[in-house]
Structure 1
C-alpha cells in the first residue's frame, strides 16, 4: 500500500483513483467539482482543497489533466512539487511536450512521464496502455502503482520518451482516421456504401483501432468529431515538437489534415 496524491479526477482520472483505492492505496485527491469529490470520498479517497495538500506526505503523485498548459500551471506555477517529500515521484499522465516534464525535473523533482492510450473502459478493465519515460529506478518504483490500471506499462526510454512515443502514436492515429475518410470517398466512387465498407474492412487486413472506432460511431465523420478535441491538441503538440527538434510529419501531415484540420 502506498500514500498517493492525485490531481485531475475527471473522465480518465476518476476511474484511475477508483482502481487505486481497490488495490488498497491511500489516495488524496483534488477534484474540480464537489460532486466528484463526494463520490470519490464515498469510495475511500480523501478529497483535499489545494495542490499543496495533494503532494504533502505522498510517495507518488499522479497528474491526469486535459492539456500541457494545465500541467504547467499545477506543477510549475503551483505548490504541488513544493510539498512532495524527498524520494517521492511525480507521474504525469497528460499528453504534452517533453519539455514540460524536463522543466519540472530540473527543479529537483523525480518525474516519470506516462501518457496513456485508451479510455475509461480500459481503465476499468485494468488494461490501459502506458508509455513510460524516466530513469530505470523511478519507473520501477511507480510500476506497482501504475499496475492498478495500466497493462501494459511500457518503459520506452528516459524522461520525455513517453511523451515522444505518445505524440507519434496520436499523429499516426489521426492519419489513420484521415485515410479512412479517403477510403470512404473512394468506396463511394465505386458504388459501395460507407456502412458496408466499414463492416467489411473490420474483417480484413485494413483493420485498425481507428476503423473500430468509426464502426462503433457509424461513420468516419462521426468518430472524427468525437475524438477531435483531444486528438487535435495532441497533434498540435506533435507538430510543434517535431519542428523544434528539426523534424516534420512527412507523409503523415496530409492524412492528419484530413482528420484534424
Structure 2
C-alpha cells in the first residue's frame, strides 16, 4: 500500500481515485469545489484542505488538471511544489505544454524531487475501467518506482523518453483523435446523404481497415446524437493549441492539424464547447444543413 496525494477529482480524476482506493492505496485528495469534495468522499478517499496538504507524508503525488495554467497555479508560490520533499515522486497526468513540463521537471530536480509527465488517453470510460494508455516522460528509474501505482490506472504504461516526451506523445495522440473524429463525422454525413443505414454502415466500417477506437467508443454517440461529455470540445481545442505550438517551436508544417484545429475552434464558437468532442459531427451537419 502506498500513500498517494491527488489533485484534480474531475471527470477523469474521480474514477482514477476510485481505482487507487480499490487497489488498497491510501489517497488524500484536493479539489476546489464542493462537488469535487463530494467526488473524493464517494471514491473512498480523504479530503485535503489545500494542494500543499496532499504532499504531507505521500509517497507519490498525482495531478490531473485541465490545462497548463491550472498545473502552474497548483504548484505555484506556497503551493504543491514547495510542499514536495526530496524522495517523493510527482506525477503530472494532466495534458499541458511540453515546454512548461520540462521547466517543472528541471525545477523539481534541482531539489531532489523526481517527476514524471504521464498524460493519458482512453477517455472517461477507460478511466473508470482502469485501462488508460499512459505515456510517460522522465527518468526510467522514477517510472520503475511509480509503476505499481500507475498499473491501477492504466493497461498500457509506456516510457516514451525524457522530460516532456510524455506530453509531446499526448499532443500527437490528440491530433490523431481529432482527425479521426472529423473523418468519421464527414463519413456519417456522406452516408446520411444517400439514406444508408447508419448503424449497419458504421459496424461494417469498424470491422475493416478504417475501424478505430474512436469509432468503437463513440459509435453510439454518433448514431444517437448524445454528446454528454467524456472529453469536452473545449479541452480538445486546448490540446490542439498545444500541438500547433509544438509544431511552431520545431519549425514544422502540419497542414491537416491546422485544418482540424480551426474546425475545433469553430465548434467552440458555435457554442459546442461543453459537449463531447464527438459533437464535431454537429458542426459538419450544420455546414451541410441546406442539403
| 1:145 equivalenced with 2:160 (yes/no) | no
What corresponds to 1:136 in structure 2?
A: 140
2:124 to 103, 113, 120: 120
Higher mean C-alpha displacement, 215-224 vs 94-103: 215-224
Please state whether the residue corresponding to 2:255 is helix, strand or coil.
Answer: coil
Q: 1:188 to 1:3 in 2, by over 3 A?
A: closer
Gaps of at least 5 residues in structure 1 are none
Q: CA RMSD in A?
A: 2.5
Contact 2:192–2:198, Cα closer than 8 Å, also in 1: yes
What corresponds to 1:10 in structure 2?
A: 10
Q: 1:184 to 1:123 in 2, by over 3 A?
A: closer
Q: 1:168 to 1:259 in 2, by over 3 A?
A: same
State how 1:156-235 maps to structure 2 within 5 Å.
156-188=160-192, 192=196, 194-219=198-223, 227-235=232-240
Gaps of at least 5 residues in structure 2 are 267-291
Aligned length: 261
TM score, norm. by length of structure 2:
0.80
Deviations along 1:175-226, one digit per CA (max 9) or x if unpaired, are 1122223323444555535455323312222111222344211349766987
What corresponds to 2:247 in structure 1?
A: 242
In the aligned structure 1, how far is the partner of 2:190 from the partner of 2:38? 51
Deviations along 1:30-52, one digit per CA (max 9) or x if unpaired, are 02233542553465422111111
Q: 1:131 to 1:69 in 2, by over 3 A?
A: same
> 1:149 Cα shift?
1.4
In the aligned structure 2, how far is the partner of 1:202 from the partner of 1:44? 38
> 1:107 Cα shift?
1.8
